[in-house]
Structure 1
């Protein structure tokens, strides 16, 4: 049976997220879901192409939202691609560096993605998308209330762009 994949989107720009945190999240979640985390899983020579390829084959996008998320060109591209492909987008707000971040991320993914997957299979729950950045704060889950619609403070103001890409997330 094919497992669902979650693509974890993040930025390292404000030092709230680091390799150690991402490794721990990967270890905690990978027994239940396929997980792609660029810093952990991307050994490709064409890293940017691999990122987009992995996102296109994911069933979920989970944005680890920090104060610098809205300034990340790559997070913006990943969110845009998920919207274009109607991939459900979830976010976990992380405002400070904390020992609780790993626990909060893992708990969120278990409650909102792993459990949602079970409910979808059991109850024909459908996730409805809005195809704009403003709509990121309005992801709706029919038949069951969820916190997945919480506001994307930093992402909702992102505008699609054609700016040059950089390797820094």
Structure 2
């Protein structure tokens, strides 16, 4: 299972320490890729593209700046094109609560994650329609029927 983590460090609550902890937790479920931690290639963007293309699932660390990050938007659009399921983890102001959110999402979706092993969704496969409720209505705009956002 290859799990790609999408995030932006524009927000103070998303830093290397948090990403290292996120990597430790996700590694219990599969191979975790976090660009800041794992990208040692000369052509960094090409490597990000490759790692995303090899992913079975994307975990979005949803901080307030994801909507203005061109890279996060690109990663989400690529995941959408490839019909890679996305699990949204709300980033809290403190590391403890962000990690609790992550653990909860992973535990809740452990069955889904196990079924995604070595599988890609086909563009015609409909997992579910969704409407994500959030204090930021912008998250409801990330919608596609072959795209799974788990709240």
Q: Could you tell me whether the CA contact under 8 Å between 2:4 and 2:34 is conserved in 1?
A: yes
Residue 117 (structure 1) aligned to one of 109, 113, 116: 113
Give CA deviations for 1:63-97 in whole Å, capped at 9, x if unaligned.
11111110000000000100111111121122423
**Alignment-derived partner of residue 99 in structure 2:** 102
Q: 1:86 to 1:10 in 2, by over 3 A?
A: same
User: Please, what TM-score do these two structures have when normalized by structure 1?
Assistant: 0.69
Q: Is the 8 A contact 1:9 1:75 kept in 2?
A: yes
Q: Does the 8 A contact of 1:14 with 1:66 survive in 2?
A: yes
Would the aligned equivalents of 1:17 and 1:97 in 2 still touch at CA under 8 Å? no
**Residues 98 and 23 of structure 1: is their aligned pair in 2 closer, same or farther, counting only changes over 3 Å?**
closer
Quote the residue 2:68 is aligned against.
Answer: 71
- Identify which of 150, 161, 165 aligns with 2:132: 150
* Residue aligning to 2:147: none
Length-normalised TM-score, structure 2: 0.76
Unpaired segments ≥5 residues, structure 1: 122-126, 131-138, 142-147, 159-169
Cα RMSD after superposing both structures: 2.9
SS in 2 for 1:96: coil
Q: Are 2:137 and 1:140 equivalent residues in the alignment?
A: no
Partner of residue 40, structure 1: 37
Cα 1:21–1:73 change in 2 (3 A) is same
Shift of 1:102: 1.5
Q: What 5-or-longer segments of structure 2 have no aligned partner? A: 143-151
Q: Which runs of 4+ in 1 moved over 6 A?
A: 127-130
Structure 2 CA distance, aligned partners of 1:96 and 1:128? 36
Distance 1:40 1:110, change over 3 A: farther
Q: For 1:69, what is the secondary structure of its paired residue?
A: coil
Greater radius of gyration (CA):
1
